[in-house]
């Protein structure tokens, strides 16, 4: 870093005048120049930091011509729908419509085990929802929205597509993010992605300037495909989603109670497609295994696993096995990125 600093500032004579406020003003001008004075825009809100900051930025640029939609696809965390909608209404004052699409998503995912296929299906179904939402808006406004705002970040682009400017049409796809490689080619809405050249830490800086509540900005990242990439295999089997929600809630709440939440980049539980023999009470059990993962990172491109005290892990494992029916074993993922990705699928 010091070598790079010396080259840029001392040898090249570049001034360190770049500020996040400049990025905000530039993006607002780009949005205004892209969206016509009478055009309306849909924003896909996930409840995460990225889409929320993107929505707030676009709202600042075009005002009430932005129409936000939050989709409950059945792959959300414990009480996520209620918590997120309350935050949008109470703290962010964004116009948000909630769409219940649980059956639509889970019926399409039934029997699907391959991770890339799950991501592709989810991306396609999201676009179907947004197209239908755009049609409904057209009936009300007399004008069909032409654009879709997404909170795509630079790491999403890197992991899903060839590097920009290379001229290459193929590269090693690490995973197709639902809002990049997972989008269908025939989608009707044109994309606006104001954050696609930023990393997560920069998005949080931008959100702070836009007065997004700090508690919201500090939320751990949550993948666009939701719990579909935290249930290994078919998400509709073995009551996996409900079990995972309970386990994840216990893990995250324990982290918060221990005062560790802000020290960790991302923490979550994973439902594994295996069963193990155990003994609970006086009975033999043959139940599910879950994994706990927590990492530290600066930008999500690399990550190190977080070292918990043994007593913390012991307490969490006991609480999970005693509280969540169908789980009799808890393991911890202690792999960094690379060689692993942060998410399991």
The 3-class SS string of the chain reads CHHHHHHHHHHCCCCCCCCHHHHHHHHHHHHHHHCCCCCCEEEEECCCHHHHHHHHHHHHHHHHHEEEEEEECCCCCCCHHHHHHHHHHHHHCCCEEEEECHHHHHHHHCCCCCHHHHHHHHHHHHHHHHHHHHHHHHHHHCCCCCEEECCCCHHHHHHHCCCCCCCCCCCCCCCCCCCCCCCCCCCCCEEECCCCCCCHHHHHHHHHHCCCCHHHHCCCCCCCCHHHHCECCCCCCCCHHHHHHHHHHHHHHHHHHCCCHHHCCEEEEEEEEEEEEEEECCEEEEEEEEEEEEEECCCCCCEEECCCCHHHHHHHHHHHHHHCCCEEEEEECCCCECCCCCCCC
Q: Is the link from the previous residue into 14 a cis peptide, with omega within 30 of 0?
A: no
Task: List CB contacts of 290: < 8 A, sequence separation 6 or more.
Answer: 243, 244, 247, 269, 270, 271, 272, 320, 327, 329, 330, 331
The dihedral built from the CA positions of residue 58, 226, 180 and 98, taken in this order, carries a sign that is negative
> Per the annotation, where are the binding residues?
46-52
> Per the annotation, where are the binding residues for ATP?
46-52
């Amino acid at each position: 870093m010091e070598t790079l600093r010396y080259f840029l500032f001392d040898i090249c004579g570049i001034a360190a005048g770049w500020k996040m406020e400049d990025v905000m003003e530039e993006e607002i001008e780009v949005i205004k120049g892209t969206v016509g004075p009478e055009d309306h825009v849909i924003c896909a809100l996930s409840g995460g930091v990225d889409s929320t900051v993107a929505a707030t930025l676009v709202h600042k640029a075009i005002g009430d011509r932005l129409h936000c939609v939050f989709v409950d696809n059945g792959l959300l965390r414990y009480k996520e729908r209620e918590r997120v909608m309350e935050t949008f209404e109470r703290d962010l004052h964004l116009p948000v419509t909630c769409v219940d699409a649980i059956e639509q998503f889970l019926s399409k995912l039934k029997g699907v085990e391959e991770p890339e296929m799950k991501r592709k299906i989810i991306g396609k179904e999201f676009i179907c929802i947004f197209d239908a939402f755009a049609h409904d808006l057209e009936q009300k406004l007399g004008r069909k929205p032409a654009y879709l705002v997404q909170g795509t970040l630079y790491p999403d682009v890197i992991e899903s597509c060839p590097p920009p400017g290379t001229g290459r049409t193929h590269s090693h796809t690490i995973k197709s993010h639902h809002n990049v490689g997972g989008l269908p080619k025939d989608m009707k809405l044109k994309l606006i992605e104001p954050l696609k050249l930023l990393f997560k830490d920069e998005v949080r800086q931008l959100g702070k300037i836009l007065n997004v509540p700090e508690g919201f900005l500090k939320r751990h990242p949550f993948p666009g495909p939701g719990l579909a990439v935290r249930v290994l295999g078919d998400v509709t089997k073995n009551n996996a989603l409900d079990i995972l929600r309970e386990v994840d809630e216990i893990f995250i709440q324990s982290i918060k109670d221990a005062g560790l939440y802000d020290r960790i980049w991302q923490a979550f539980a994973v439902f594994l497609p295996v069963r193990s023999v155990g003994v609970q009470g006086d009975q033999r059990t043959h139940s599910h295994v879950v994994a706990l993962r927590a990492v530290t990172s600066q930008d999500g491109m690399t990550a190190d696993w977080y070292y918990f005290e043994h007593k913390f892990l012991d307490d969490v494992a006991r609480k999970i096995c005693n509280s969540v029916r169908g789980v009799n074993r808890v393991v911890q993922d202690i792999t960094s990125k690379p060689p692993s990705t942060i998410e399991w699928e």
